[in-house]
Structure 1
């Protein structure tokens, strides 16, 4: 348990959280060829960039304080550790949501052409029946 607390206290969980959430950036930037875009893509991108910058700044401050003993920045390690846990939980939730969204889109993309063809065939049969009844 000391190893986990030591790792989290050194800011590695923040960096892991950024790398864990980074596929969301790719999902938001994916061009779907005119099909439904990622909802709120621009806000996701700005949030992820801000998250990465903030995590890098905190990680850098932690490393400066650890490597240069003369510099005391007065960082609240308990608050940083707690913040790391919350950010990691948010990254897990966002990553899961993105995976579900991508699976939903891939299922819709796979069934879409088949449904379109079925509808077109039924519509043609209906139009043909209507035309035959009119004669």
Structure 2
């Protein structure tokens, strides 16, 4: 079993998943669910609005929902899902390990983004002759983008160092020390100024 796991850990693109713990999967999935819900909200609201304003007797909210992303909108949605992955893969935060499979992930993501942008441009130029094929392809590309986005979230959590309570409180303690030092310096400065003024005043009276 361990030998199979070690062999899988060396596979292209997905090998690091064998090394990721459950907390990273759960945390990434939690963020991914909220990200997905907010991302599909425009499509859901569009379907609801079309259903409410339509006076057709045979209206179907699912078909109305599909109509909101049948003209290339999924291509833009795919690009918006993939673009942040390039930042995650190419930017290494302080104390973080290198992003796993950085080169293949960034390459695939860049190719998909370019493909979506080209297809969207062709759609808007009315140069596409087989729009149904482009729509089916956009659905598959969207599914691929969602899978890569979740994968990127998992890998990002895996490479980040564990944060202890002491590290979380370090900035707070540093701020407290800086504030205390500043207050003490101000008090000493005011004290010296008061003594100087008092001495000058006594000297004038003498």
TM range (shorter): 0.5 to 0.7
Structure with larger Rg = 2
Gaps of 5+ in 1: 66-72, 115-135
The number of aligned residues is: 105
**Aligned to 1:8, what secondary structure does the other structure show?**
coil
Asked if the contact 2:122–2:128 (Cα under 8 Å) also holds between the matched residues in 1, the reply is no
Asked if the contact 1:14–1:88 (Cα under 8 Å) also holds between the matched residues in 2, the reply is yes
Report the equivalent of 1:133: none
Report the equivalent of 2:156: 102
Deviations 1:74-117 (A, max 9, x none): 521221111111111111111111112222233x3326x99xxx
Coordinate RMSD, CA, aligned: 2.4
1:77 to 128, 131, 136: 131
Asked if the contact 2:99–2:159 (Cα under 8 Å) also holds between the matched residues in 1, the reply is no
The Cα of 1:32 is off from its aligned counterpart by 4.1
Asked if the contact 2:79–2:113 (Cα under 8 Å) also holds between the matched residues in 1, the reply is yes
Report the equivalent of 2:82: 21
Gaps of 5+ in 2: 1-61, 168-206
Deviations 1:37-80 (A, max 9, x none): 11221222222222222111111111111xxxxxxx45212211
Report the equivalent of 1:12: 73
Asked if the contact 2:76–2:117 (Cα under 8 Å) also holds between the matched residues in 1, the reply is yes
Asked if the contact 2:78–2:113 (Cα under 8 Å) also holds between the matched residues in 1, the reply is no
Could you state the TM-score of these two structures normalised by the residue count of structure 2?
A: 0.45
Could you state the TM-score of these two structures normalised by the residue count of structure 1?
A: 0.65
Cα distance in structure 2, aligned partners of 1:4 and 1:23: 26
Cα distance in structure 2, aligned partners of 1:5 and 1:77: 14
**Aligned to 1:109, what secondary structure does the other structure show?**
coil
2:143 to 62, 81, 89: 89
